[in-house]
Amino acid sequence: MKTLVCVLACMCVSSYSLPPDKMHAFHIIKTRSIDLNNAHGLVMETRLEKTVEPTGYRLELEPYLEDAVFKGHVSINVTWLENTDEVSLHCAHEIEITESEVKAYMPSDSKELLKIPIKKMSTDPKKPILTLRLEKTVPKSSVGFLNFSFKGNMQTSSTEAFFKTTYVTEESDRIVAATQFRPNNARRMFPCFDEPAYKTPFELSVVRPRSMVALSNTAVARTEDINGEPNAVWDHFERTPPMSTFTLGLVIADLKQLGESTLYKDDNGNNIELRVWGRPEYLQALEGVNEKLAQVFAEVANFWQVPLPLTKLDIVALPNYQGNKPADNWGLIVFKESDVSSRGLLQLAAELSYEWLGALATPAWWSDAHINKALVGYLAAEIAFKINNGLEMEGKWPMTVLYSLYYEFSKRYPHSRITGMKQETACTKIELLFRMFNYTIGGDTFKKGVWLLMEARKFKTFTGDDIWNALNAAAENFHKKPTYIDVKTVAKSWIEKDRLPLITVNRNYETNSAMVTQKVYLRERPHDVPDAAKMLWWVPLVVARSDNFDFTNTTPADWMKNQRELKLVNMPDNDHFIIVNPEEIAPFPVNYDKDNWNLISAYLQSENRTNIPELTRAKLLHDAWNLAYAGQLSFATAFNMTLFLKHEQHHLVWDPVFTMIDHVGRHICCGIYDKFHAYVRILLTPLYKELIKDVRENEENWHKNLRSASRRFLCRAGYAPCVREAQEQFAVWLNAPNPDEGNPISNQYLCPVFQWGTQKEWDFGLQRVINFPPSRKQSERTYLLKTLAGCPIDEIKIQKLLNITILEGNGNFTETDLFLIFSMLTGSSQGYTALFHFLNNNWDTLKEKFASKTNTWDNLITSATSEFKTQAGLELVSNLYVAHQGEFGSAEHIIEKSMRNIREEAKWSAENLPVIEKWLDNYLNNADDKDDQYIRKFQ
């Protein structure tokens, strides 16, 4: 049997097909990770019948680069799992099979290799499946070969499957050939069993031009000349470890290695050569990548503790590669050039992690791709933080993705019912679940769980359940969870819902206890979503308390076991607050009784506020404002939570504030508009003054971004120094001899001038749009038009723009421009109110003008009627509807929907705007800081 295995592994097939019609005689032509976006469709893909399984591939490939065609031969070692006279495998319709052959050793006589005649070979017209119907039944346990010669065309319109692309140098055009087989594109190059579970060794040989480099999963074992072809050679690569077809990789290009290889060895058994490749002209831009690769690889390898069974790993900066993600083949990772040269670590850490979780251990089916990507994403972020404290993320992970998740899952219809977005948010949620388990069972236990998974599933496949079960086993072994907690059960309670819970904590200060309840977190009104009352989660309740601060203890005080409410006992007295879910350990917001909120607010205003870590300070702000917006908390309490910001400098804490100013600002009506602006100015001025004291050329990105954001919001609120600076800069353009040649000032100055500046300045901007030369970048004109429409808050400017673009029909404005103007006007109450009055006052003219342009008409009705938030706004829209009922045409359902939405918003405004105004009045009357630097009226 040992001899038989050796024969099967080393057998060389000598039969070749004739060259494709377009091929020249010479090979050197003389004349010239699983993608998550595809995962949803792949889940439904028909699986192959399990009658045979591959045990090895011998693949020979002859690409003709200039013609973008190829021919090849593959010999697939197979074992029959059933008695059958049919064999099915994957082969794309565009691949032409020129020869086929089946041979087998029968169990009754394993010495003789028998040729099994093929009765019929057919391809499913709807699926890329090739079926061989044999003359006789092959018995179960037989071993043998499927031999195919084939030819096909390389992809030239995309960089997927086996593709060809070109790039230009000073000397000539250069050709690049490479593969990107994720998720299931190997079948587009050769017949194969193209499913993740079929993990087998590959022996690859490829013809390449002598002047080019060929790289694959393993090192080149030998290079062989080709008789009669002095400019081409065969490269024969070393046999790979068992792997899935989608991890097979190949690159043929004019590449040069960056510096020397790095030899990485460790006590875990890794002994691997790390190499970086790029085109010669780009190597200078890759300086430092070898060191970065060595550093990140060491951290990733140290985490996994299981050696990669590879002798080399190549990182390639491939010119003109356009893939959405790198081609993370085993031992050969292909990046866009800019991704390799960037200083970030996160993507590199993720791609290196895929070498273990993805290649060494592989998701069993595409339905497990999300959990694979989520675990890799979480580990990559942890590694990036370990190396440089998450510098490229500015320390914001996981807050940025978590806030997005809160926002998306609190909508009435998450993801807008878009499948691709649903896949991404599902993956993000699972990534945060891994973070939750890392905290609740402990980091060391979490690692041990992942190691258990890898040891059990290396060279095999795994499912999501395998991951959860491994974490559960580790937690049990090290007594890191209550016996009633099952990691898989907890995880599924989160994964199976497109929602998140809101946890509400009501303390009883007399009994030192707290009643904790859970319900669906809904921010977008109305809140009547289906099955909301039935949704429950397994929720870890980690509690921090001010009578014994310890933010390092992340063991849950208790778990909500899929239950509506739970009582916590032994809580502190009424002088001390508690914080549930500090550091956003799990993805859920938390509400408290008013007294606990007040205790937290008072503490944050004290000198001891930094005892609460910045991530938790940010959470408290974010939760308070969003809960108020959702109608779950008084806005007076939410605004009180911002009082400590006059002393706050950390960018993480400020990050959610700007979003909340924007969201709440959109709901502020004209009556309290000036008061809200005054609040914003008083809130932001101390921060901005501090930030402009320290402007350095090499300052951190977060410092620049925080200064830019605070300045932008101050300008929007009428901060006089900002407006004056913008007008001074704008004067340079205003006085330019040829103003249409280009904008000599930064875009940041446009909005303050158009919002608070003179009519003359705004008119000047409008003329620049009208006179915009076609030779300039149209994106500059688009930005200018956006600010002209979206920034003004006085109706005169807005009405003038609408008169010129619509009533006068100025030929310089297109229908696309109108859509842009309408969209920008919906950003402020002044904008959409002015648009409504324009529609109401010019109804007959507009109805006639857009009679044949239903898209424009529908867009106008939507923008002019859908954004009102108050009862007064509802009356305006309702009166318009009654006055012109039956005249809305295609937009009839639009205005009806607008009225339904405004009714909900009007309820919100009636409940909250008086509270906000009362708080603002009290705040402005008692503010220590003087608000004497603002634009009081339009100039």
Angle at 240 between CA 237 and CA 244, to 5 degrees: 125
Burial of 158 (0-12, 13-18, 19+ CB in 10 A): exposed
Confidence at residue 18, expressed as pLDDT on a 0 to 100 scale: 27
Angle at 466 between CA 461 and CA 471, to 5 degrees: 135
Assign 33 a pLDDT band (cuts: 50, 70, 90). very low
* Residues in contact with 728: Cβ distance below 8 Å, sequence separation at least 6, in sequence order: none
* Residues in contact with 240: Cβ distance below 8 Å, sequence separation at least 6, in sequence order: 201, 202, 203, 204, 217, 218, 248, 330, 331
13 has pLDDT over 50: no
Could you tell me the two tokens for 879?
């009166």
Confidence at residue 797, expressed as pLDDT on a 0 to 100 scale: 95
Q: How many CB atoms sit inside 10 A of residue 229's CB? A: 16
Least Cα distance to 668 among 635, 622, 627, 708 occurs for 635
Assign 529 a pLDDT band (cuts: 50, 70, 90). confident
pLDDT, mean over the chain: 91
> For 792-848, how does the pLDDT look when each residue is reduced to its tens digit (9 = 90+)?
988 999 999 999 999 998 899 999 999 999 999 999 999 999 999 999 999 999 999
- Please provide the DSSP assignment of 548-569 as one string: S--TT--S-SEEEES-SEEEE-
Confidence at residue 617, expressed as pLDDT on a 0 to 100 scale: 97
Q: Which amino acid is at 24?
A: H
> For 457-486, how does the pLDDT look when each residue is reduced to its tens digit (9 = 90+)?
999 999 999 999 999 999 999 999 999 999
Q: How far apart (Å, rounded) are the C-alpha atoms in residues 379 and 596? A: 35
Helix (H, G, I), strand (E, B) or coil at 31: coil
> For 143-168, how does the pLDDT look when each residue is reduced to its tens digit (9 = 90+)?
999 999 999 999 999 999 999 999 99
Contact 115, 101 (CB under 8 A): yes
Lowest-pLDDT range, 25-29, 386-390, 750-754? 25-29
Beta strands in 411-563 (DSSP E): 461-462, 501-508, 513-520, 538-541, 543-545, 558-561
Q: Could you give the percent of the chain with pLDDT greater than 70?
A: 94
Q: Could you give the percent of the chain with pLDDT greater than 90?
A: 83
Assign 29 a pLDDT band (cuts: 50, 70, 90). very low
Confidence at residue 9, expressed as pLDDT on a 0 to 100 scale: 36
Confidence at residue 936, expressed as pLDDT on a 0 to 100 scale: 56
> For 310-354, how does the pLDDT look when each residue is reduced to its tens digit (9 = 90+)?
999 999 999 999 998 999 999 999 999 999 998 889 999 999 999
- Average pLDDT of the segment spanning 874-885: 96
Q: Pick the catalytic residue: 60, 299, 337, 351? A: 351
28 has pLDDT over 70: no
Residue 631: left (phi > 0), alpha (psi -120 to 50), or beta? left
Q: How far apart (Å, rounded) are the C-alpha atoms in residues 403 and 504? A: 19
> For 218-262, how does the pLDDT look when each residue is reduced to its tens digit (9 = 90+)?
999 999 999 999 999 999 999 999 999 999 999 999 999 999 999
φ, ψ dihedrals at 514, nearest 5° = -150, 135
Q: How far apart (Å, rounded) are the C-alpha atoms in residues 258 and 317? A: 10
> For 89-136, how does the pLDDT look when each residue is reduced to its tens digit (9 = 90+)?
999 999 999 999 999 998 776 678 999 999 999 999 999 999 999 999
756 has pLDDT over 90: yes
Assign 420 a pLDDT band (cuts: 50, 70, 90). low
* Residues in contact with 117: Cβ distance below 8 Å, sequence separation at least 6, in sequence order: 134, 135, 136
Beta-strand pair 69-80/143-153: antiparallel
Q: How far apart (Å, rounded) are the C-alpha atoms in residues 359 and 327? A: 12
Could you tell me the two tokens for 320?
């003109």
Q: What's the predicted TM-score (pTM) here? A: 0.89
Contact 773, 780 (CB under 8 A): no
Could you tell me the two tokens for 832?
């959409």
> For 610-652, how does the pLDDT look when each residue is reduced to its tens digit (9 = 90+)?
999 999 999 999 999 999 999 999 999 999 999 999 999 999 9
- Average pLDDT of the segment spanning 533-554: 95
Confidence at residue 490, expressed as pLDDT on a 0 to 100 scale: 98
Could you tell me the two tokens for 98?
């020129």
Least Cα distance to 810 among 765, 838, 770 occurs for 770
Q: How far apart (Å, rounded) are the C-alpha atoms in residues 609 and 737? A: 55
> For 715-731, how does the pLDDT look when each residue is reduced to its tens digit (9 = 90+)?
999 999 999 999 999 99
Annotation says 351 is catalytic: yes
Q: How far apart (Å, rounded) are the C-alpha atoms in residues 88 and 48? A: 7
Q: Which residues pair with 637 in a beta bridge?
A: none
Helix (H, G, I), strand (E, B) or coil at 274: strand
Q: How far apart (Å, rounded) are the C-alpha atoms in residues 440 and 386? A: 20
Q: How far apart (Å, rounded) are the C-alpha atoms in residues 683 and 710? A: 10
Beta-strand pair 332-336/312-318: parallel
Distance of CA 228 to the CA centre of its chain: 51
DSSP 598: H
